Each structure stands twice: as C-alpha cells, then as structure tokens.
C-alpha cells in the first residue's frame, strides 16, 4: 500500500489538524494511506524573539519572511526524505488544477511551505523549492488555506482515500467536462421534479442524458474547457 506523506511548514500549525481529524482524511490517516506532519516555522529561527520576518530591502509596505528559517526547516525535514517534492504556496505560482492534483497524488512525499505577510524572500523560490503553486488569481493573507486546498484535492486522488474510486473518474475536470447534474430523494420537492430519465431504470438512456447534460453545462458555463475536448481522429 502506498502512503503519501505531507510535511507542512507554517507559522500556524493549528490550522492543519482540523482537516485531518474529520471525514475521509481522518480514516485515510488512520489506515496509513496518508500522513501529515506539521512543522512550526518558529522552531527553526535563530532569532531570540522567534521572529521569522523582516523589513523589505528597498522599502515598501509590510514585512517579508526571512529565507533562513525556511531553509533551516526544509533542510531538517529533507534530512530523512531527500527526494521529497517541495512546493511553495504563492500567488505568483503556476495555477493549481485537477491535472496538477493528479500529478502530485503520484508522489510519496510532499513538502508544502506556507508564506505570510507581504510574501517570502525570493531566494526561497529560486533555490529551496521545486516549484511555486497558486490556487487562483486572488491574494489570501497566507499560504495555509491554499495549502489546505491543495492537500485535500491531492489526498482524495490517492488510492484508498475515496471509498468508490469510480466517483473520481466521473467528476468535474476529470474528462475536460463539468460533471452532469445530480439529484436525490425526494423525486418531487414542492413541485420541483427530478428528471424522469434518472428513475427510468434504463442505464443506456441515463448515460446518454448524463453525457448530454455534461456537454451542455460545460458549453454554457465553461466554454474554455470545451477546447480541450478531443475531436474526431
């Protein structure tokens, strides 16, 4: 059985345990499919006041995270796992998507560094990590929420985490399409009826309806995704 281990470097370690103490990630961790270790960046600073940031060279607003504690933390974590893939959360990184989530889910060791303040001394991105990842074109106050999003998206793709792995094949972005609409009981809620075809018991008709709905929904809401659909030949 494969285990994917995440090592997170952050100044807010408490933000991570909640995710792994609930739901499917809790079960996956108990079964040894996933492992999460959270490292407090302040344990790696040599500053007597445990500071991990300083004023930016050249002036400007806010504070910048120092390279030294991050480099120390990475070196400590990498001692036992020199091949771990190392990621810095950054709005300037390459955009995280489902394809990237699949790619990262094939790793065995991932180290995730969370920035704060005005950002991180550029030498971290240039010399101490393998890549920078952004979760979208907006700025959050820190890398913890982006890291949680990446960890959850990646974790559920690791074999053994999601109960029925067929659900991963059908869902949005797995085939360049958004997922078809889903309905459940009651069949009629205050006159709002679920489509008859879904309770027809005819698997071929249901499949055709789902494919047509996925195409229609994608072309209406995300026409950009339709470009990735394979054409004939």
Q: Measured from the CB atom, is 14 or 186 closer to ligand SAM?
A: 14
Give the residue nearest to ligand SAM (CB). 115
Helix, strand, coil fractions of the chain, as percent rounded to 5:
40, 20, 45
Residue 225 interacting with ligand SAM (CB under 6 A)? no
Question: Using CB under 6 A as the criterion, what x/- string covers residues 135-174 for binding ligand SAM?
Answer: xx-xxxxxx--x----------------------------
CB of 27 to ligand SAM, least distance (A): 28
- φ/ψ region of 23 (left if φ > 0, alpha if ψ in -120 to 50, else beta) reads left
Q: Which of these ranges, 29-37, 85-93, 122-130, 166-174, lies near ligand SAM under the rule CB under 6 A? A: 85-93
Q: Which long-range contacts (CB under 8 A, 24 or more apart) does 204-213 make?
A: 209/180, 210/180, 211/180, 213/180, 213/181
Residue with tokens 């500053």: 47
Q: Measured from the CB atom, is 114 or 177 closer to ligand SAM?
A: 114
Residue with tokens 């240039």: 126
Best CA proximity match to 112, nearest among 142, 80, 157, 140: 142
Element (H, E) at 213: helix 203-221
Which sign, positive or negative, has the C-alpha torsion 19, 95, 130, 40?
negative
Q: Measured from the CB atom, is 36 or 93 closer to ligand SAM?
A: 93
Give the C-alpha separation, 110 to 61, whole Å.
32
Q: Measured from the CB atom, is 89 or 158 closer to ligand SAM?
A: 89
Best CA proximity match to 158, nearest among 33, 36, 38: 33
Q: Which of these ranges, 9-17, 116-124, 179-187, 209-217, lies near ligand SAM under the rule CB under 6 A? A: 116-124
Q: Which of these ranges, 52-60, 111-119, 198-206, 215-223, lies near ligand SAM under the rule CB under 6 A? A: 111-119
Instruction: Find the binder of ligand SAM among 89, 111, 153, 198 (CB under 6 A).
Output: 89
Q: Which of these ranges, 13-21, 40-48, 122-130, 134-142, lies near ligand SAM under the rule CB under 6 A? A: 134-142
Binding site for ligand SAM (CB under 6 A): 89-92, 114-116, 118-120, 134-136, 138-143, 146
């Amino acid at each position: 059985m494969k285990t994917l281990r995440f090592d997170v470097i952050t100044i807010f370690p408490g933000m991570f345990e909640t995710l792994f103490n609930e739901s499917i990630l809790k079960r996956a961790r108990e079964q040894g499919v996933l492992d999460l270790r959270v490292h407090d960046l302040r344990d790696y600073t040599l500053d007597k006041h445990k500071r991990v940031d300083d004023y930016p060279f050249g002036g400007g607003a806010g504070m910048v995270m120092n390279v030294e504690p991050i480099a120390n933390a990475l070196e400590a974590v990498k001692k036992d796992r020199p091949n771990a893939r190392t990621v810095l959360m950054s709005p300037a990184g390459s955009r995280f998507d489902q394809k990237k989530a699949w790619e990262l889910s094939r790793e065995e060791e991932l180290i995730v560094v969370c920035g704060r303040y005005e950002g991180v001394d550029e030498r971290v991105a240039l010399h101490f990590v393998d890549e920078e990842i952004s979760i979208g074109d907006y700025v959050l106050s820190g890398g913890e929420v982006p890291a949680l999003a990446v960890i959850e998206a990646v974790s559920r793709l690791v074999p053994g985490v999601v109960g029925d792995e067929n659900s991963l094949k059908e869902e949005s972005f797995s085939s360049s399409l958004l997922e078809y609409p889903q309905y459940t009981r009651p069949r009629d809620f205050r006159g709002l009826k679920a489509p008859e075809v879904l309770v027809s018991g005819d698997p071929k008709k249901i499949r055709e309806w789902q494919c047509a709905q996925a195409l229609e929904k994608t072309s209406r809401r995300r026409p950009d995704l339709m470009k990735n659909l394979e054409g004939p030949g």
